[in-house]
Amino acid sequence: MARKMVAMRLPRRTIDRLKWLARSSSQSDVVAELVDERFGCPVCGNVAMDTLVWNEETDLVTCELCDHTYEPGAEA
């Protein structure tokens, strides 16, 4: 599955989450791919790329955690 990549500076909350994941993980090679908060799920706040499914035909994203479908980056 192709993913749209956007180069941007990570927000402080994301950096803190990555540090927490690194400290709490028993596996040293775990990598968490996170999207910017603006593109995360507006309902549950999920930013984990592995649980945000992008439909290339409709350009909509479905969050696997809460099953909400939304347009990423659209203002609420």
With a CB cutoff of 8 Å and minimum separation 6, the contacts of 17 are: 32, 34, 47
pLDDT in tens, the chain (76 residues): 445 555 456 677 777 777 777 676 665 555 668 888 888 999 999 998 888 998 888 989 999 999 999 998 886 5
- Residue 43 in tokens: 């309902």
In the chain, helix, strand, coil percent, each to 5? 25, 15, 60
Distance of CA 29 to the CA centre of its chain: 19
CA atoms within 13 A of residue 32's CA, in its CB half-sphere: 20
